[in-house]
């Protein structure tokens, strides 16, 4: 029975959300003018410095992706450390500890790979 409720709720949310989007589109204000000023980028009150064909270095994106990757791994470690005493008390502490060691091994391997491949070198 719980699965039926989940399916019903999912279908209801999909139908209701779609109906709201179409209702908002049908009753909303339609702006036929498209001034050029609205399409310009805004940089703190000064005219835009970059052109459309400005190339951004891939290193910026790589640094951001690596930061997010390692930040998420640290976030996964925090709840494990907070609840480790409860895992020991319930008798699964050894299994949880070995699984975290595996997780840390993958984490450390990724860190060494990042340093070895010089992913953060800017030259």
Domain with residue 25: its CATH number is 1.20.58
| pLDDT score, position 38 | 67
Is residue 20 very low, low, confident or very high in pLDDT (cuts 50, 70, 90)? Answer: very high
Q: How far apart are CA 94 and CA 62, in angstroms?
A: 36
pTM beyond 0.75: the answer is no
Whether 122 is covered by a domain: the verdict is no
Whether 17 is covered by a domain: the verdict is yes
Q: How far apart are CA 4 and CA 33, in angstroms?
A: 48
Structural domains of the chain, count: 1
Q: How far apart are CA 66 and CA 37, in angstroms?
A: 36
């Amino acid at each position: 029975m719980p699965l039926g409720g989940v399916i019903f709720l999912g279908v209801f949310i999909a139908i209701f959300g779609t109906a709201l989007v179409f209702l908002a589109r049908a009753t909303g204000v339609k702006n036929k003018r498209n001034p050029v000023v609205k399409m310009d980028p805004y940089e703190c009150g000064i005219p835009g410095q970059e052109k459309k064909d400005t190339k951004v270095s891939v290193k910026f994106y790589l640094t951001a992706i690596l930061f997010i990757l390692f930040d998420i791994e640290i976030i996964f470690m925090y709840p494990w450390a907070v609840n480790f005493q409860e895992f020991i008390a319930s008798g699964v502490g050894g299994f949880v500890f070995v699984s975290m060691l595996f997780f840390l091994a993958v984490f450390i391997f990724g860190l060494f790979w990042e340093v070895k491949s010089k992913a953060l070198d800017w030259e």
